[in-house]
Structure 1
């Protein structure tokens, strides 16, 4: 007879245990967003790569050094931007002004900006580089933009053939 009782209760969970498990599950689910928000995961790629060659300086006109949207940067430089690339890794807009045309590119993560800069180094030239954004323009314009946006002007080395000595 004892065997029948234990067989009848196998797989049956008392209501108090179910209630306690449900409360524990609800508590864990309530705390999960807090634990992940405070996890400090951030952008692990930036931490692993160590210091980068770009440094951001405060821009007096912008008053902000956080990553910005293409439209915000365009507004600070005095143009109405036309978005030409909208991708997961970057957004790029083109500005047409009387002083010249230029590109504004923003990145959702530091690693995408670093990849873009490495690719741009093949072509050479100067770029204004900030916190997850890059402006490609004539060097004279970059100096003016730097006063408004902050960032640093970086000279990229081209990978093409170097001119030989001139025969004079």
Structure 2
């Protein structure tokens, strides 16, 4: 009986050690799953990639009006959804839609659903800019922060 209890304790200790190690590596960003950054933590040569969400997410949410000012466009009156406000943005030469969200969960659901329709999304802290040009969104990202997302299955 002593032997069975000892081996069970050893086994539990090893499992616990493996779980702790996995958690530490995950928090440290050492996982190498699909789409993981290359060595150096950011991509080529250790330089931050423009669409690296961890390095570009602003700490404060932005309203549709603040986004319009930052983008330099005129907006229509915001339309209200269940968890968001949305306005078209004109005057930039690009067709953009600006959104602000009440909750991060509502934003994630909206972005995930919308990606099925195509387009490029600049996703920040409870705000999103939707457009069609990845290059234009990369330029906006340099000013606003956020992460670039788009559906890669059908395009």
Q: TM-score, normalised by structure 2?
A: 0.59
Deviations along 1:93-119, one digit per CA (max 9) or x if unpaired, are: 111125222001111101111110121
Map of 1:1-168 to 2, 5 A cutoff? Answer: 55=53, 57-58=55-56, 65-137=59-131, 138-158=133-153
The answer on whether the counterparts of 1:86 and 1:92 sit within 8 Å (CA) in structure 2 is yes
Q: Distance in 2 between matches of 1:77 and 1:156?
A: 23
Q: Which structure 1 segments of 5+ residues have no match?
A: 1-50, 163-168
SS of 2:67's equivalent in the other structure is helix
Runs of 4+ displaced beyond 2 Å: 54-59
Q: How many residues align?
A: 105
* Structure with max Cα Rg: 1
Give the Å deviation of 1:65: 3.1
Q: Distance in 2 between matches of 1:157 and 1:135?
A: 18
Q: Distance in 1 between matches of 2:84 and 2:125?
A: 13
Q: Distance in 2 between matches of 1:65 and 1:80?
A: 25
Give the Å deviation of 1:129: 0.6
Give the Å deviation of 1:56: 5.1
Q: Distance in 1 between matches of 2:121 and 2:93?
A: 17
> Structure 1 residues 158 and 124, CA, compared in 2 at 3 Å: closer, same or farther?
farther
Q: TM-score, normalised by structure 1?
A: 0.54
Q: Which structure 2 segments of 5+ residues have no match?
A: 1-26, 28-51
